[in-house]
Amino acid sequence: MGPFNGDDGNNGNGNGNGTTASRPGTLSKPLADLMGSWDDFAFAPIRESTVSRAMTRRYFADLDAYAESDVVIVGAGSCGLSAAYTLATLRPSLRIAVVEAGVAPGGGAWLGGQLFSAMVMRKPADVFLAEVGVPFEDEGDYVVVRHAALFTSTVLARVLALPNVKLFNATAVEDLITRPVVAADGSTSVRVAGVVTNWTLVSMHHDDQSCMDPNTINAPLVISTTGHDGPFGAFSVKRLVSMRQVETLGGMRGLDMGAAEDAIVKGTREVVPGLIVGGMELSELDGANRMGPTFGAMALSGVKAAEEALKVFDLRKAQNDE
């Protein structure tokens, strides 16, 4: 029996209380048959430890498998999710870990501007909506998704259904794993080779608790999409400054929708070997304008991040395996 086939190691019948359990593959009655007969209703039996093992066995198997990932995406906002969808779909052989500090993935894309509902995307970002199956109203130069949550929930559902992606939410990236790179002239820089993680709640208590060491994920390529500066935002580019790989951050500039969206998509790139930066995190690095509530650049920056990743993946993997 495989590890996920319901072998609990208790009394062999999967529920530990001596009753006969359904075998995997036994379907429940159709919903229509349940309705109207609630007096006779009962759930299938279960023992608490069965629930516990069903969760922990899978989570620890994932931690084991993804300790060596091909790509780590930091941040599951609109850019990170778009990158995950594109990369995992284009290259199903890649093992992709998405690390999200929040309990709820989706970043700032659950609402439009000023907490309104509608999400605006300028063309040609409509192609991404069509690709993932998000309905929209065509207004000519731009399209409107009725509710931003429809975009985020749809992309999220598509990403989570992909067999080569694992979302680790409530998990913060606390640092980057680096390897030294020595140039021909003897100068040294770094290549990013993975991430350092911790439960977000633990990360938030480093100042008042001691000895809470982190965990790690090795990967030849990291895509950082942690959003603009904030308690958790712009994480990787700020770390590049503190480890002296970037002199200073440009700082997000004032709002200019026209300039900002093109700049973010065009600028999405590998910033140092092994680290691709996209979405609003890039505005902090490049000193690009903010764009306000128009989200096409986030989706297409994610697509570009995936494309940049595929360009360099084989090289970075070879360097990582040396």
The residue ranges that bind ligand FAD (CB under 6 A) are 74-80, 99-102, 107-109, 172-173, 225-227, 232-233, 235, 279-281, 290-292, 298
| 314 annotated to bind ligand | no
Q: How far is the CB of 25 from ligand FAD (least distance, A)?
A: 37
| 280 annotated to bind ligand | yes
| 158 annotated to bind ligand | no
126 or 281: CB nearest ligand FAD: 281
Q: Note whether 200 and 171 are within 8 A (CB).
A: yes
Burial class (CB in 10 A: 0-12, 13-18, 19+), 299: buried
Q: How far is the CB of 108 from ligand FAD (least distance, A)?
A: 2
Q: How far is the CB of 99 from ligand FAD (least distance, A)?
A: 5
| 25 annotated to bind ligand | no
Q: How far is the CB of 101 from ligand FAD (least distance, A)?
A: 3
Q: Note whether 316 and 274 are within 8 A (CB).
A: yes
The one-letter code for the residue type at 261 is E
Q: How far is the CB of 195 from ligand FAD (least distance, A)?
A: 8
| 290 annotated to bind ligand | yes
Q: How far is the CB of 79 from ligand FAD (least distance, A)?
A: 3
73: β partners: 98, 223
Give the Cα separation of 156 and 158 in Å (integer): 5
21 or 300: CB nearest ligand FAD: 300
Round to the nearest angstrom and report the end-to-end CA distance of the chain: 37
149 or 181: CB nearest ligand FAD: 149
71 or 291: CB nearest ligand FAD: 291
Tokens of 73: 């995406």
| 291 annotated to bind ligand | yes
| 79 annotated to bind ligand | yes
196 or 312: CB nearest ligand FAD: 196
Closest CA to 312 of 286, 281, 275, 282: 275
101 or 156: CB nearest ligand FAD: 101
User: b/e string for 126-140 if b means 16 or more Cβ within 10 A?
Assistant: bebbebbebebeeee
What residue ranges in the chain does DSSP mark as E strands?
71-74, 96-100, 119-122, 137-138, 142-145, 165-169, 171-182, 188-199, 215-218, 221-224, 253-255, 269-272, 275-277, 289-290
16 or 108: CB nearest ligand FAD: 108
Q: How far is the CB of 81 from ligand FAD (least distance, A)?
A: 8
Phi, psi dihedral angles at 72 (to 5 degrees): -110, 130
Residue where the block lists tokens 């500090």: 101
- Give the residue ranges of the annotated binding site for substrate: 79, 100-101, 108, 173, 213, 228, 280, 290-292
Mark the binding-site residues, compressed into ranges. Answer: 79, 100-101, 108, 173, 213, 228, 280, 290-292
